[in-house]
Amino acid sequence: MKKVNVEVCVCTQCVLNGAMHIIESIESLKKLKVQLRLNTQVNITTCTNLVEGTHPDISPVVRINGDLIENADSETVMERIIAMGLPAKS
């Protein structure tokens, strides 16, 4: 089973800018395991140290398996997680 680690910044600015909805949308993927043929374990962690200091211009920020996404939104985050969970194309 593949593992995807998603870190979501939950600083004040990121919560205001929709971080909690991003977390909801990641959790919602569990319900689509069959449709998506996902065989992935998604670990969600919340933190505030993805980037140094306050970051109003790039909020919300999310890191997926080490890759930082600035100005993240739910659709991009879901797409990236699913792309990582799919079997590699041969």
Partner 1 sequence: MKGIYTPVTKIRRQIFQEIAKLAFEGGDYSRIEDIPYKIIPGEIATYRDSVFKERAIVGERLRLACGLDVRPADKHAPISQGIEESAIDELVYEPPLVNVIPFACEACPPKQYYVTDNCRGCLAHPCVSVCPVKAVSLKDGKSHIDKDKCIKCGRCAESCPYNAIVKFERPCAASCGVDAIESDYLGRAKINYDKCVSCGQCLVNCPFSAIADKSQIFQLVHALKEGKEIIAEIAPSFVGQFGPLATPQRVKDALIQLGFSDVYEVAIGADLGAIAEAEHYVHGLSEEQPFMATSCCPSWSVMAKKFFPEIAHCVSTELTPMVATARIIKKEHPNARVVFIGPCASKKLEALRRTVRSDVDFVITYEELMGIFAAKEIDFGQIEDAPEMEDATGGGRGYGVAGGVAGAIEAVIRERYPDVEVKIDRAEGLFDCRKMLTLAKAGKRKGYILEGMACPGGCIGGAGTIEPIKKAAAAVKKFADEAEHHVATGSDYIGELPEEHEHK
Interacting residues toward partner 1 by CB under 8 A: 10-13, 15-22, 24, 46, 48, 54, 56, 73-74
d(CA 16, CA 4): 25
Q: What dihedral do alpha carbons 1, 39, 2, 24 form, nearest 10°?
A: -130
Nearer to partner 1, 61 or 85 (CB): 61
CB 73 to partner 1: min, Å: 8
Nearer to partner 1, 5 or 73 (CB): 73
CB 38 to partner 1: min, Å: 22
Per the CB < 8 A criterion, the answer to whether 9 and 71 are in contact is no
